[in-house]
C-alpha cells in the first residue's frame, strides 16, 4: 500500500517492544570489553587475581567475548538471543572466579568474592532480560495487523462523514455490538465476544483530517489494545473513493489472547474485507444486503454455515 | 407456500416452505404466475454448479403480481404485473451504472466465496447456488425480489405471460449474445445449441441484420424450430462434420461470429473427445465439457467474434488458445445484463417483431416441477422449454 504512514500501529509496537534492558546490558558489555583490553591490570587488581600471570590472557579473552556481546546487543537487529549468550558468559565467569577464590586469602580473596557477587547479580539481571525479551517477542508475534481497501461509488466527503460518526461502525463491522461517542474524541466500544459475552473498551481519535483520514486507538485499560486508521482517497476517473483501512490488535497472552486469535481465525483479512463490503453496501445501496441463505448479510462464518436458500421461518429476523 | 427444492443430484421436489418476507427496504414480494425451467437449472440439477445445498429453492425465470413492497420501493405498487430479471442488481455501484448489471458489486452476500473461485464476485442470482448469493428462487408460489426498484418491469395487459416470462432470461440472453457479435451487413452468424437461448440468439441475430444464421445441434426437432420459426440454416453435428460444413457454406471464410449457447455440458460429434471430457468431468478434474466453445473458436473467421452466453461454472482444459491468439479472435461473454434489455425487448414483443414464446414446448402446474425437470433433462417429448404455471 503506497503512501502508507507506517506509524499507525506504533502505539501497539511500543507496548510489546521490551528491548530497553538488553540495550543497557550491551553498554555494560562494552564497558567491560573495552576496560579488559585497555586496562587488564586494573581489572585483574579489582578482581583480586593480579598475582597470577595466567589471568591476563583469560581477561583478554573475556574482554573480547564481551565486545562480541556488545556488538550483538547494541547493533544487532534481534538482541533477544544475545541476552542468552551473555548468561552463558556469566556462568563461565562464575566458574573462573570460583577457582580464583579457592587459592587466595586476605585482601585478594575479599576482592574476588566481591567480584563474584557482582557477576552473580549481573547474571540475575541477564536472566530477567532474557525472559522479558522472549515474552515481548512472543507478544509481538501475537499482534494481528490487517490492511484492506475497498472502492466505494460515493464522494470521499460522504464516506468520511459516515465513518466519522463512529456510532455507524456497528452497521458494517460484524464483531461490534455498539459504539457510543462520548465527545468528539473519546468513544466507548462494545464488541461481541465469542461466547456471547460483550467486551468493552474506551478509544480516542488521535488524528482527524476531514474527508481524508481518521486514526483511532484504544485507551490504556483495554483488554485487547487496538488501533486503526482509515483513509479516503478519491479513486481515479469517476470511480468513487478508495477506502483503505489499517487495523491492529495486540492480544495478551493466555486465554483471552487465544480467544481473540480464534475470533479472527485463519483469515483476519477476509473478515475486514467483509466489513468493508458491508460498508460499501450501506453507502451505495442504503443497507446491508441480505439473502435467504445469509439473512444477516456477509460474514465469513455465515459463508460456511449457510442455511438453505429458503425463506426464513416466521418470527426469525436476520 | 409450495416451492421447487433441489434435493441432491438429479433430484428436485416440490416442498412446503415458509412464505418469503421483506428483509431489505428495497425488496418486493411477488406472487408468481409463471416460472420457467432454464437450461442452466439443468446444470444445477446435475450438480455441476458448486455450492448448492439440499433444500435450496431453484428458479431464476419468473413473473407475477406484486403483493408487498418495502418502504424504499417507489416505482411499484401492490397489484402490478411484473417480470423479474434473473441477476439481482443494486443500480448504485459503478458496474450497474455502466449497465453491467450481472456483475453488480453489492448483490452477492457470499462474495467472499465467489472471489476464491472467480477472483472477483459477480452479482447474486435467484436460485443459483450459494456461490451466487444463496437467494431462494422463483419456481415457487412467491418470491422475495431484492432491489425491486431496479430490476422488475411492469408488463402491459396485452402481453401474455408466455411472452413476458421470456424477458426474465432467455430472450435478453440470446439478444445479448447476438449484440456482442457486432453484426454488420453480410455477416454470417453460427450458433451452437438450439435450446431456447440459442434459438433466441439466432432470431436476435436476424433482427440485428445478419445475412445468414446457421444453427448447430443434434436434435432434429430443435433444428426444425430453428429452420421454421427463425429462418436459420441448420447443421446436425451428429451427422455432419461441423468445421467442414461451415467452411463449405461460407466458401472457406468461416462464420463472421460464433455464438456458444451450449455451455458447460456440451456434447461432441467425436465420441473419443466427448468421452475424454466426460471422464474428467466425472472425477471433477475438469468442471466443464467445452466442446462447443472449442469448435466455435476453430470455426470462426480470423478477426471474428466468439460470443459466449452458454453457462460455465469452473475450469476447462484443451482450450485452443493458439487458434484464438494467432487468428486475432475476440471473445465477448457474460451472464446477461438483463436490466439493460427488458424495456427495448418488451417493445419488440409489443410491436410483434419477435415472439420469444416460440421456444416454449411444455406448460404444466408447479406441482409437476420434478416431471418438468425430467423430461427437459432427457429431451423427451420434443422438450425445449418447460413453463410452470402457479
A195 and A274, same domain (yes or no): yes
d(CA A159, CA A187): 20
A127 and A219, same domain (yes or no): no
A102 and A228, same domain (yes or no): no
* 3-state SS, residue A182: coil
For chain B, the three-class secondary structure string (H helix, E strand, C coil) is CEEEEEEECCEEEEEECCCCCCCCCCCEEEEEEEEEECHHHHHHHCCCCCCCCCCCECCCEEEEEEEEECCCCCCCCCCCEEEECCEECCCCCHHHHCCCHHHCCCCCCCHHHHHHHHCCCCCEEECCCHHHCCECCCCECEEEECCCCCCCEECCCCCCHHHHHHHCCHHHHHHHHHHCCCCCCCCEEEEECCCHHHHHHHHHHHHCCCCEEEEEECCHHHHHHHHHHHCCEEEECCCCCHHHHHHHHCCCCCCCEEEECCCCECCCCCHHHHHHHHHHHHCCCCCCECHHHHHHHHHCCCCCEEEECCCCCCCCCCCCHHHHHHCCCEEEECCCCHHHHHHHHHHHHHHCCCCHHHHCCEEEEHHHHHHHHHHHHCCHHHCCCEEEEC
pLDDT per position as a tens digit, B316-335: 888 999 999 999 999 999 99
Least confident range of A39-53, B339-353, B370-384: A39-53
d(CA A192, CA A27): 47
By C-alpha distance, the chain A residue nearest B21 is A311
Residues of B with CB under 8 A from a CB of A: 3, 5, 17-21, 23-26, 51, 53-57, 72, 90, 92-94, 97, 105-107, 109-113, 124, 127, 130, 133-137, 144, 146-147
pLDDT value at residue A135: 79
User: What's the average model confidence in pLDDT over B160-185?
Assistant: 98
pLDDT value at residue A6: 41
A97 and A130, same domain (yes or no): yes
B61 neighbors B86 (Cβ within 8 angstroms):
yes
d(CA A61, CA B228): 103
Burial B117-127 (b: 16+ CB within 10 A, else e): eeeebbbbbbb
Of B25, B53, B94, the CB nearest to A286: B25
pLDDT value at residue B257: 98
A290 touching chain B per CB within 8 A: yes
By C-alpha distance, the chain B residue nearest A291 is B135
Cβ within 8 Å, pair A311-B93: no
Kindly state the cell numbers that stand for B336: 446477461
What is chain B's Cα-based Rg? Answer: 20
Kindly state the cell numbers that stand for B211: 445475412
Cβ within 8 Å, pair B18-A153: no
Given the cut 0.85, state whether the ipTM is greater than it.
yes
Q: What angle do CA B280, B286, B290 make, to 5 degrees?
A: 100
d(CA A139, CA A59): 38
Of B18, B105, B144, the CB nearest to A313: B18
For residue B127, list chain A residues with Cβ-Cβ distance below 8 A.
309
A65 and A127, same domain (yes or no): yes
A31 and A105, same domain (yes or no): yes
Residue A295 inside a domain? The answer is no
pLDDT value at residue A45: 87
Mutant choice from A152, A285, A298, A313 vs B, greatest count of B C-beta within 10 A: A285
A124 and A149, same domain (yes or no): no
By C-alpha distance, the chain B residue nearest A279 is B106
For residue B53, list chain A residues with Cβ-Cβ distance below 8 A.
293, 306, 308-309
Kindly state the cell numbers that stand for A117: 557477587
Nearest CA-CA distance, residue B200 and chain A, Å = 30
Residue of A61, A53, A59 lying closest to A40 (CA atoms): A59
| Structural domains counted in chain A | 2
A310 touching chain B per CB within 8 A: yes
A293 touching chain B per CB within 8 A: yes
pLDDT value at residue A317: 56
Of A277, A300, A309, the CB nearest to B136: A309
A178 and A96, same domain (yes or no): no
Kindly state the cell numbers that stand for B99: 449497465
A130 and A218, same domain (yes or no): no
Cβ within 8 Å, pair A311-B19: yes
**pLDDT category of residue B116 using cuts at 50, 70 and 90:** confident
Mutant choice from A278, A293, A295, A314 vs B, greatest count of B C-beta within 10 A: A293
Pick the CATH number of B2-169+337-389 from 3.90.180.10, 3.50.50.60, 3.30.70.20, 3.40.640.10: 3.90.180.10
d(CA B196, CA A80): 71
Cβ within 8 Å, pair A285-B3: no
Nearest CA-CA distance, residue A258 and chain B, Å = 25
Residue A109 inside a domain? The answer is yes
pLDDT value at residue B68: 98
Q: Which fold has domain B171-333?
A: Rossmann fold (3.40.50)
End of a domain among A123, A139, A155? Answer: A139
Residues 33-72 of A with CB under 8 A from B: none
Nearest CA-CA distance, residue A220 and chain B, Å = 35
- The domain spans of chain B are 2-169+337-389, 171-333
A135 and A147, same domain (yes or no): no
Residue A41 inside a domain? The answer is yes
User: What residues make up the domain containing A181?
Assistant: 143-287
Of B23, B107, B124, the CB nearest to A295: B23
d(CA A191, CA B98): 38
d(CA B151, CA A66): 77
pLDDT value at residue A5: 40
If one counts every other C-beta atom within 10 angstroms of the C-beta of residue A76, the result is 15
Supply the CATH number for residue A245's domain: 3.30.530.20
pLDDT value at residue A2: 35
B134 neighbors B127 (Cβ within 8 angstroms):
no
Least confident range of A73-77, A173-177, B2-6, B291-295: A73-77
Cβ within 8 Å, pair A292-B136: yes
Mean pLDDT of chain B: 94
By C-alpha distance, the chain B residue nearest A287 is B24
Nearest CA-CA distance, residue A261 and chain B, Å = 20
Residue A54 inside a domain? The answer is yes
pLDDT by residue, tens only, chain A of 318 residues: 333 344 446 656 555 555 578 888 888 889 989 988 898 888 888 888 888 888 888 888 999 998 998 888 888 777 677 888 888 888 988 998 888 888 788 888 898 899 999 999 999 988 888 888 887 777 777 788 899 999 999 999 999 999 999 999 999 998 899 999 999 999 999 988 766 778 899 999 999 999 999 999 999 988 888 999 999 999 999 899 999 999 998 887 777 777 776 666 667 788 899 999 999 999 999 999 999 888 877 666 666 677 889 998 877 655
A54 and A95, same domain (yes or no): yes
pTM of the model: 0.83
A32 touching chain B per CB within 8 A: no
A153 and A83, same domain (yes or no): no
Of B92, B110, B111, the CB nearest to A153: B92
Amino acid at each position: 500500500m503506497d503512501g502508507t504512514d507506517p506509524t499507525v500501529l506504533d502505539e501497539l509496537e511500543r507496548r510489546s517492544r521490551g528491548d530497553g534492558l538488553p540495550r543497557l546490558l550491551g553498554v555494560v558489555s562494552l564497558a567491560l570489553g573495552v576496560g579488559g583490553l585497555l586496562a587488564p591490570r586494573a581489572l585483574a587488581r579489582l578482581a583480586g587475581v593480579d598475582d597470577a600471570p595466567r589471568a591476563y590472557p583469560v581477561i583478554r579473552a573475556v574482554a573480547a567475548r564481551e565486545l562480541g556481546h556488545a556488538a550483538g546487543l547494541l547493533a544487532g537487529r534481534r538482541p533477544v538471543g544475545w541476552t542468552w549468550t551473555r548468561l552463558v558468559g556469566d556462568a563461565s565467569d562464575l566458574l573462573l572466579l570460583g577457582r580464583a577464590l579457592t587459592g587466595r586469602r586476605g585482601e585478594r580473596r575479599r576482592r574476588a568474592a566481591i567480584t563474584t557477587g557482582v557477576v552473580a547479580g549481573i547474571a540475575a539481571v541477564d536472566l530477567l532480560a532474557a525472559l522479558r525479551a522472549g515474552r515481548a517477542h512472543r507478544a509481538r508475534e501475537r499482534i494481528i495487523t490487517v490492511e484492506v481497501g475497498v472502492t466505494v461509488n460515493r464522494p470521499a466527503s460522504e464516506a468520511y462523514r459516515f465513518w466519522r460518526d463512529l456510532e455507524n461502525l456497528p452497521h458494517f463491522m460484524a464483531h461490534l455490538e455498539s459504539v457510543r461517542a462520548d465527545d468528539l474524541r473519546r468513544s466507548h466500544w462494545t464488541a461481541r465476544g465469542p461466547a456471547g459475552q460483550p467486551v468493552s473498551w474506551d478509544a480516542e481519535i488521535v488524528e482527524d483530517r476531514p474527508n481524508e483520514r481518521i486514526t483511532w486507538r484504544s485507551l490504556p485499560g483495554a483488554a485487547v489494545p487496538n488501533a486503526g486508521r482509515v483513509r479516503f482517497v478519491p479513486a481515479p476517473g469517476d470511480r468513487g473513493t478508495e477506502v483503505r483501512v489499517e487495523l491492529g490488535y495486540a492480544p495478551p497472552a493466555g486465554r483471552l489472547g487465544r480467544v481473540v486469535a480464534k475470533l479472527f481465525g485463519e483469515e483476519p483479512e477476509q473478515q475486514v474485507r467483509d466489513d468493508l463490503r458491508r460498508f460499501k453496501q450501506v453507502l451505495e445501496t442504503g443497507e446491508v444486503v441480505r439473502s435467504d441463505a445469509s439473512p444477516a448479510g456477509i460474514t465469513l462464518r455465515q459463508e460456511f454455515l449457510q442455511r438453505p436458500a429458503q425463506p426464513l421461518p416466521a418470527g426469525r429476523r436476520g | 407456500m409450495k416451492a421447487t427444492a433441489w434435493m441432491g443430484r438429479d433430484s428436485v421436489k416440490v416442498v412446503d416452505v415458509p412464505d418469503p418476507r421483506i428483509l431489505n427496504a428495497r425488496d418486493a414480494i411477488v406472487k408468481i404466475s409463471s416460472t420457467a425451467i432454464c437450461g442452466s437449472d439443468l446444470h444445477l440439477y446435475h450438480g455441476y454448479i458448486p455450492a448448492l445445498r439440499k433444500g435450496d429453492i431453484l428458479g431464476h425465470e419468473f413473473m407475477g403480481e406484486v403483493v408487498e413492497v418495502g418502504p424504499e420501493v417507489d416505482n411499484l405498487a401492490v397489484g402490478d404485473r411484473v417480470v423479474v430479471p434473473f441477476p439481482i442488481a443494486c443500480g448504485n455501484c459503478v458496474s450497474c451504472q455502466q449497465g453491467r448489471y450481472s456483475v453488480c458489486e453489492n448483490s452477492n452476500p457470499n462474495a467472499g466465496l465467489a472471489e476464491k473461485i472467480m477472483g472477483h464476485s459477480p452479482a447474486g442470482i435467484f436460485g443459483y447456488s450459494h456461490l451466487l448469493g444463496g437467494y431462494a428462487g422463483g419456481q415457487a408460489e412467491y418470491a422475495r425480489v431484492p432491489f425491486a426498484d431496479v430490476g422488475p418491469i411492469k408488463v402491459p395487459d396485452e402481453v401474455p405471460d408466455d411472452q413476458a416470462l421470456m424477458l426474465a432470461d432467455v430472450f435478453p440472453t440470446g439478444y445479448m449474445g447476438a449484440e456482442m457479435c457486432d453484426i454488420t451487413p453480410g455477416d454470417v452468424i453460427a450458433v451452437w445449441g438450439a435450446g431456447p437461448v440459442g434459438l433466441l440468439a439466432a432470431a436476435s441475430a436476424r433482427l440485428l441484420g445478419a445475412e445468414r444464421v446457421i444453427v448447430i445441434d443434434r436434435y432434429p426437432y430443435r433444428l426444425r424450430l430453428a429452420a421454421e420459426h427463425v429462418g436459420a440454416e441448420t447443421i446436425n453435428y451428429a451427422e455432419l462434420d461441423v468445421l467442414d460444413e461451415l467452411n463449405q457454406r461460407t466458401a472457406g471464410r468461416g462464420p463472421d461470429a460464433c455464438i456458444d449457447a451450449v455451455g458447460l455440458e456440451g456434447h461432441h460429434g467425436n465420441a473419443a473427445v466427448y468421452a475424454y471430457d466426460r471422464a474428467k468431468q466425472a472425477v471433477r478434474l475438469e468442471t466443464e465439457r467445452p466442446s462447443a466453445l472449442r469448435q466455435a473458436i476453430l470455426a470462426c473467421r480470423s478477426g471474428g467474434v466468439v460470443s459466449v452466453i452458454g453457462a460455465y461454472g469452473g475450469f476447462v482444459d484443451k482450450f485452443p488458445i493458439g487458434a484464438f491468439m494467432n487468428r486475432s479472435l475476440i471473445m465477448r461473454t457474460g451472464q446477461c445484463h438483463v436490466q439493460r434489455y427488458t424495456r427495448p425487448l418488451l417493445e419488440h414483443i409489443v410491436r410483434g417483431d419477435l415472439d420469444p414464446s416460440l421456444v416454449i414446448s411444455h406448460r404444466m402446474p408447479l406441482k409437476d416441477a420434478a416431471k418438468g425437470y425430467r423430461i427437459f433433462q432427457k429431451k423427451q417429448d420434443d422438450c425445449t422449454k418447460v413453463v410452470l404455471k402457479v
